[in-house]
């Protein structure tokens, strides 16, 4: 990661794509995330040409679905990961893929900034926790996400502090539902 990228507010860039169709913001997102998506897809078994094509698809989806991104529930990295994972299933497995129903309302137009910050920092904190795991355990998590393990071989015990993330997302969902009723 380049030094000037460390503190980039990716969620703010996605908002600019959503609100102003800002192509400079999109280009910054592309330069950061496309090479990561490409690497992820190649580690999952795609050749370079297919991975490049799919990374483009993923970034185009980011452009199209910017309004559906909820920065109080996920970091941009996590959102991009889910788009890339879905693209991988479509391209490599050629299986049909069911997705959960979107919540019946979009993200709040002005989400609470403290919550947004928390969600955006999840990725950093998880990254730090991941790098501190024993090598064997981290390798197992990576293999699961790269598609090297069958579903019955995947262990849910990651050794990562996921409880706090889950609770925070749960509260965000609860608040959204209350606002709706």
Partner 1 sequence: MTIRHHLTDQLLMAYAAGELPEAFNLVVATHVSLCDECRAKLAAFEAVGGAMMEMTDTVAMSDDSLAACLDRIDGLSQANARRPLRRAGVFPAPLADYVGGGPEKVKWRAVGMGVKQAMLSTGRGASARLLYIPGGQAVPDHGHRGMELTMVLQGAFRDETDRFGRGDVEIADASMQHTPIAENGEVCICLAVTDAPLRFNAIIPRLAQPFLGI
Q: Which of residues 130-149 bind partner 1 (CB under 8 A)?
A: 130-131, 141-142, 144-145, 147, 149
For the chain, first and last CA: distance in Å?
Answer: 43
E-assigned strand segments in the chain: none
Distance CA 181, CA 167 (A): 21
Site for partner 1 contains 88 (CB under 8 A): yes
**Under rule CB under 8 A, how many of the chain's residues touch partner 1?**
88
DSSP-derived secondary structure letter, 41: H
Q: Which of residues 152-181 bind partner 1 (CB under 8 A)?
A: 154-158, 160, 162-163, 165-167, 169-170, 173-174, 177, 180
CB of 6 to partner 1, least distance (A): 12
Binding test (CB under 8 A) with partner 1, winner from 12, 20, 105, 132 = 105
Site for partner 1 contains 34 (CB under 8 A): yes
DSSP-derived secondary structure letter, 91: I
Site for partner 1 contains 50 (CB under 8 A): no
From the list 122, 111, 107, the residue with the least C-alpha distance to 168 is 122
Nearer residue to partner 1 within complex by CB, 114 or 178: 178
Binding test (CB under 8 A) with partner 1, winner from 8, 22, 50, 107 = 107
SS3 of residue 86 by DSSP: helix
Binding test (CB under 8 A) with partner 1, winner from 9, 20, 45, 82 = 82
Site for partner 1 contains 16 (CB under 8 A): no
Q: Do 29 and 17 contact (CB within 8 A), yes or no? A: yes
SS3 of residue 82 by DSSP: helix
């Amino acid at each position: 990661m380049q030094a000037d990228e460390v503190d980039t507010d990716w969620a703010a860039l996605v908002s600019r794509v959503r609100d102003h169709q800002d192509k400079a913001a999109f280009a910054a997102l592309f330069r950061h995330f496309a090479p990561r998506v490409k690497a992820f897809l190649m580690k999952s078994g795609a050749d370079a040409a297919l991975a490049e094509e799919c990374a483009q698809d993923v970034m185009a989806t980011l452009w199209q679905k910017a309004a559906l991104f909820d920065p109080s529930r996920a970091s941009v990295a996590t959102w991009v990961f889910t788009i890339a994972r879905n693209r991988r299933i479509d391209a490599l497995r050629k299986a049909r893929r069911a997705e959960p129903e979107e919540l019946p309302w979009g993200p709040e137009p002005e989400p609470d900034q403290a919550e947004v910050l928390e969600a955006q920092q999840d990725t950093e904190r998880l990254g730090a926790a991941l790098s501190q795991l024993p090598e064997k355990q981290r390798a197992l998590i990576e293999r699961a996400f790269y598609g090297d393990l069958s579903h019955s071989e995947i262990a849910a015990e990651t050794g990562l502090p996921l409880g706090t993330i889950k609770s925070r997302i749960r509260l965000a969902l609860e608040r959204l539902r209350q606002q709706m009723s």
